[in-house]
Structure 1
């Protein structure tokens, strides 16, 4: 397997993990399951099925945009914003740092890493180089 193909496969797997998680999360919010309503209330928001559904729709739209190559960059930006909201919500109620607060950061890094590896055009936007390559 060539480096480009290996890179694309790794990026697709990473992006697939993000998409799968987000679809699962959005699905739970769209239903909305009782555990979602309870968790929303624990984060200090109204325990409302309508709020949960609205969040599920936003998550679904961001994920759909991320999943399609033509709109993947916009989707990654929106997913990052969505994950920033989750970080803020967990920070506000004092949840544990590495398991709760930073989970959104982990997911956003995985999303951008997957996009970077599966789409070579990202190198123009994020030119990551080792110090020996810089001239």
Structure 2
């Protein structure tokens, strides 16, 4: 199965955006910045630097797994789970739907979309078009 350079390039750009955002998120939590501690408390969790660092470490591991082609599918699964936690946290306190609550969904869709565009194995596993359209 061949893949166009533009398709693969788009996949790498999408994946790169996810990786950059997750590295920013993980870095802010690993430090941890005061804004992170405050946001954690606003979400109803203990305002603890240890909790922030733990979440940052989890985010960093998931992102690293996603960044390497051999473990990218596992990384995408783990990033999706991590994003599910963010959706649940925002849902629990009633944050706005499209800007806060669904941001994790947007990021997970971007992660899987990027992986789909750059990895032919996913296209074989999940064909999004009918076989007759490939002609």
Would the TM-score normalized by the shorter structure come out above 0.5? yes
Q: Name the SS of the counterpart of 1:121 in structure 2.
A: helix
TM-score (ref. length: structure 1): 0.94
Alignment of 1:40-119 (within 5 A): 40-119=40-119
Q: Deviations 1:39-76 (Å, cap 9, x if unpaired)?
A: 00000000000000000000000000000000000000
* Pairwise CA RMSD: 1.6
Determine the C-alpha separation between the residues in 2 that align with 1:42 and 1:130.
46
Q: Deviations 1:22-48 (Å, cap 9, x if unpaired)?
A: 000000000000000000000000000
User: How far 1:130 sits from its partner (Å)?
Assistant: 4.3
- The equivalent residue for 1:11 is 11
Determine the C-alpha separation between the residues in 2 that align with 1:43 and 1:132.
49
Unmatched tracts of structure 1, length 5 or more: none
Unmatched tracts of structure 2, length 5 or more: none
User: How far 1:133 sits from its partner (Å)?
Assistant: 3.6
Aligned length: 133
Determine the C-alpha separation between the residues in 2 that align with 1:89 and 1:66.
23
TM-score (ref. length: structure 2): 0.94
